[in-house]
Amino acid sequence: MMKTSKKSPATRYCYHCRTHHPVEEMKLLVTKTGSRWRCVKSIEAVKRSKEERDQYGRQVSALNQAEASGRARMLNKIQSER
The tens digit of pLDDT for each residue in 49-63 reads 989 888 888 988 998
- 9: pLDDT strictly greater than 70: no
pLDDT digits (tens, 9 = 90+) for 22-76: 999 999 999 898 999 999 988 888 888 989 888 888 988 998 899 999 999 999 9
* Count of structural domains, the chain: 1
Question: For the chain, what is the radius of gyration of the CA atoms?
Answer: 17
**Residue ranges with strand state E in the chain:** 11-14, 19-22, 26-31, 34-39
Judge whether 25 lies within some domain: yes
Q: Which residues contact 21 (CB under 8 A, 6 or more apart)?
A: 11, 12, 14, 39, 41
pLDDT band at 8 (very low <50, low <70, confident <90, very high): low
Judge whether 5 lies within some domain: no
Judge whether 6 lies within some domain: no
Judge whether 3 lies within some domain: no
Judge whether 26 lies within some domain: yes
Q: Which residues contact 56 (CB under 8 A, 6 or more apart)?
A: 42, 45, 48
Parent domain of 23: 11-81
Judge whether 1 lies within some domain: no
